[in-house]
Amino acid sequence: MKTRITDLFSIDFPVIAGGMVWCSGWRLASEVSRCGGLGLIGAGSMSPELLEEHIEKCRKATDKPFGVNIPLMNVNSAEHINVVIKHRVPVVVTSAGNPATHTERLKQAGCKVVHVVANCKFALKAQSAGCDAVVAEGFEAGGHNGKEETSTLVLVRQVADAVSIPVIAAGGIASGEQLAAVMALGAEGVQMGSAFAVCKESSAHPAFKQAVFASKEGDTKLFMRKLSPTRLLKGEFFDLIAEAEARGASSEELLSIIGTGRTKKGMFDGDLSMGELEIGQVASLIEREKTVEEIFCELKSGFAKAQQRLQNLSI
């Protein structure tokens, strides 16, 4: 399949694995790239030294293009930028910050730059900053979300109309049929997080993966709107936040409840009671652990089925 995204990244299939904290290490990134997509290393949970190690290991594991996701709000983001420039990483996906901060420097170093957005305003800002593409991420996504809470189907159509650079859809996508749906709206690729977060090559804890496989419709919810809207999977920490928000807890109280290290505790260490379990709405469609290769096979077959279904329709 050829789109502007496959051409931009020199990949075979327009699927990018999200650079998720505590899940997206070199093993996952290199395998996604080997299978024809674009694997991302998630810098958000790494020190600059650890990121450097993962980049080196990823490069040894595959000769295919890969990238690094850098949340700009992270305290180490400036050092992460230095690391990816030093190692000439082909693609950098930035999020949670101003796309103009580092884009020019990254592009001068030869990187393709993509920025994650949740509205048209920031999509246009990313385009003006020189970004090569944008990820339009709807509020179905796991983890941190946009304050507008715009769904993927609405957001992708709006952003595709607003910008001339390629649009990558994200949020609530885990099948080939969903890939076909967002491409019909103007996307030229997808970024998938949840499906890869719990695949075999992910570094997430097995207990977290099993909790996702056991989840049902409605088992994720968006919380912490006073801070940064975040989608969580049901659990004790989920209940703790729900109770605090129901009684009108202040931002300061919410911050004190969250504390530090919650996502590592839940997703990497497997503490399902007091850990923060970030996953998207699509969790209820994910029933078992799959390899990256299996995921790609199912994406391609699902996309073909969707194409056939549409061809059978008449106007």
pLDDT digits (tens, 9 = 90+) for 87-144: 999 999 999 899 999 999 999 999 999 999 999 999 999 999 999 999 999 999 998 8
Backbone angles phi, psi at 67, to 5 degrees: -145, 180
Average pLDDT over residues 271-277: 92
Give 101-117 pLDDT, tens digit per residue.
999 999 999 999 999 99
Three-class SS of 242-276: HHHHHCCCCHHHHHHHHCCCHHHHHHHCCCCCCCC
Q: Compute the half-sphere exposure of residue 93: CA atoms within 13 Å on the CB side of its CA.
A: 27
Average pLDDT score over residue span 9-14: 98
Percentage of the chain beyond pLDDT 90 is 85
- CA distances from residue 213 to 87, 131, 181, 206, 219 in whole angstroms, order as listed: 37, 36, 24, 10, 11
DSSP state of 29: H
Structural Rg of the chain based on CA atoms:
18
Number of Cβ within 10 Å of residue 222's Cβ equals 15
Q: pLDDT tens digits for 181-196?
A: 999 999 999 999 999 9
How many angstroms separate the first and last alpha carbons of the chain?
26
Residues 6+ apart with CB under 8 A from 314: none
Which amino acid does the sequence have at 117? V
**What's the mean pLDDT in 8-13?**
98
pLDDT tens for each residue of 31-61? 999 999 999 999 999 999 999 999 999 999 9
Please check whether residue 278 is in contact with residue 263, taking contact to mean a CB–CB distance below 8 angstroms.
Answer: yes
Give 14's pLDDT tier (boundaries 50, 70, 90). very high
Using a cut of 0.85, tell me whether the model's pTM lies above it. Answer: yes
Residues 44 and 22: their CA atoms lie apart, in Å, by 8
Please return the burial class of 164, using the count of CB atoms within 10 Å of its CB with bins 0-12, 13-18 and 19+.
Answer: exposed
Q: Which residues of 70-96 are buried (b: 16+ CB within 10 A; e: fewer)?
A: bbbebebbebbbebbbeeebbbbbbbb
pLDDT band of residue 261 (cuts 50, 70, 90) is confident
| Sheet (strand 143-144) strand order | 143-144, 230-233, 220-223
The amino acid at residue 191 is Q
Give SS3 for 140: coil
pLDDT of residue 196: 98
